[in-house]
Chains A and B, each alone.
Chain A
Amino acid sequence: MIEINNLAFSFGKSPVLQGISMKLEEGKIYGLLGENGVGKTTLLTLLCGLKRPGFGDISVDGRAPFDRLPSLLQEQFYLPDEVMPVRATPAQFASERACFWPKFSFINYEELLREFEVDSTQRMDKMSAGQLKKTWIAFALACGARYYYMDEPTNGLDIPSKAQFRKALMKYTSDDSTMVISTHQVRDLESIIDPIIILDSKEVLVMATLEEIAQKLTFDYGKELHPEALYLEQTPGGAIQVYPNTTGEESKVNLEAFFNTVHSHKDVTKQLFK
């Protein structure tokens, strides 16, 4: 369990995060959503110990990430948005770095590289952006870590790789791992992230499971306009409307529409998900 208590962080005098408190449970894949500049990357770098909390604290099963204890570092992996084009082939890279993660599996690594169709004899600094990203994702998932923090992992991936990525996330992690994945590409990850955390101007606007979202809001894909729609988006085949769920029947959550609903009705949704 990861516990974040009243966390705050500033760059100089400008606050980025304020009063963030939440509990992240094991076995879950959290989706961290938010507009540009709300502090998603900052939160991930605080979680993995690259930054020191300005106020409050983070406890990863009793350990503070910024202490950078080897016992914690060997159980976590942070995959940044921009990954390093290392001057080595994927095989050489793993033979040097894998020793830092005792549970690293070379078998899984090779399997992942094959599934992602990465040429493991090519040097990483000569690869295309997508190939390089896939190599890093393969390395990350082969580490067998318990805590994963991934910043926009589907950025730069081609269409088949996105599906591969979703499958690999489930296949190569275990029930005791906790993942936090930030993304703007909600469609890429729609079926795989749950619960959803929406960060907004320094604070957590909503944190809810898909089940809770579907119980509280109805996503109506029909053509008839609903008088109480909080959000309406025209689509080629009709419309998506979001309104409070009064029947108790669940509909399919559309994360983009959910995000836009939360953004256009911050107070209403905050009240709903309190």
Chain B
Amino acid sequence: MDFNSDKPIYLQIADSICDRILSGELGSEDRIPSVREYGAELGVNPNTMMRSYDKLLGEGIVFNKRGIGYFIAPDAREKVLAQQRADFLEKDVPAILERLALLGLDTSVFNKQ
């Protein structure tokens, strides 16, 4: 994984798990690797991995079965969708509109696609 964005790495890891949930690669009740396994896969510190998992746990996207591991929550996809839609409308859309205005274009460009 290449941590190129300006976001903290722990958020980028959480985002990538959410993306895999959206794409269907990770489904309801699927097990995800332990903090250390995932850390070894990505070459990332256990603290950072733990923060990613804590965030997803807090949002109810992932749940923890004691002694067994971490799993994708049954309603994870709905939660991620709602979250990312809100995020897209709040951040990406204004950025796109701003860029369109800067380039002397308007939203009609989308109709041509």
Q: Which residues of A contact B (CB under 8 A)?
A: 27-29, 163, 166-171, 174-175, 191-194, 209-211, 214, 219, 221, 250-253
In order of increasing CB-CB distance, the 5 nearest A-B pairs are A166-B43, A171-B40, A170-B40, A170-B39, A194-B45
Interface size class of B (residues with CB under 8 A): 20 to 34
The chain B residue with its CB closest to the CB of A165 is: B43
Q: In the assembled complex, how far is the CB of residue A186 from the closest CB belonging to chain B, in whole angstroms? A: 13
Q: Is there contact, CB below 8 Å, between A251 and B36? A: no
| Cβ-based interface call for B83 (8 A) | no
Contact mask B32-59 → A, CB, 8 Å, 1/0?
A: 0000100111111111100100000000
Name B's A-contacting residues (CB within 8 A): 3, 5-9, 11-12, 36, 39-48, 51
B51 A211 Cβ-Cβ under 8 A: yes
Most buried by B among A167, A193, A221: A167
User: B47 contacts A194, CB within 8 Å?
Assistant: yes
Whether B8 pairs with A194 at a CB distance below 8 angstroms is: no
A-chain residues with CB within 8 Å of residue B6 when the two chains form the complex: 219, 221, 251-252
In whole angstroms, how far apart are the Cα atoms of A175 and B39 in the complex? Answer: 12
Residues of chain B within 8 A (CB-CB) of A253 are 8
Q: Determine the distance from Cα of A253 to Cα of B51 in the docked complex, in whole angstroms.
A: 15
Do B8 and A191 touch across chains, with their CB atoms under 8 A apart? no
Q: List 14 A-B contacts (CB under 8 A).
A: A29-B45, A163-B43, A166-B43, A170-B39, A170-B45, A171-B36, A191-B44, A210-B8, A211-B47, A221-B6, A252-B6, A252-B8, A252-B9, A253-B8
Q: Is the CB of B48 within 8 A of A194?
A: yes
Q: If A166-B43, A170-B36, A171-B40 touch, does A252 touch B5 (CB 8 Å cutoff)? A: yes
Considering the chains assembled together, what is the distance between the CA atoms of A193 and B39 in angstroms? 12
Q: Which of chain B's residues have a CB closer than 8 A to the CB of A169?
A: 43
CA distance A209 to B8 in the complex (A): 13
Known: A28-B47, A191-B3, A191-B43. 5 other contacts (CB 8 A): A29-B45, A166-B44, A191-B42, A194-B45, A252-B5
Set A170, A175, A209, A251: member contacting B43, Cβ < 8 A:
A170
- Kindly list chain B residues whose C-beta atoms are within 8 Å of the C-beta of A166: 43-44
Nearest chain B CB to A213 CB, angstrom units: 10
Report the bound CA distance from A221 to B8 in whole Å.
12
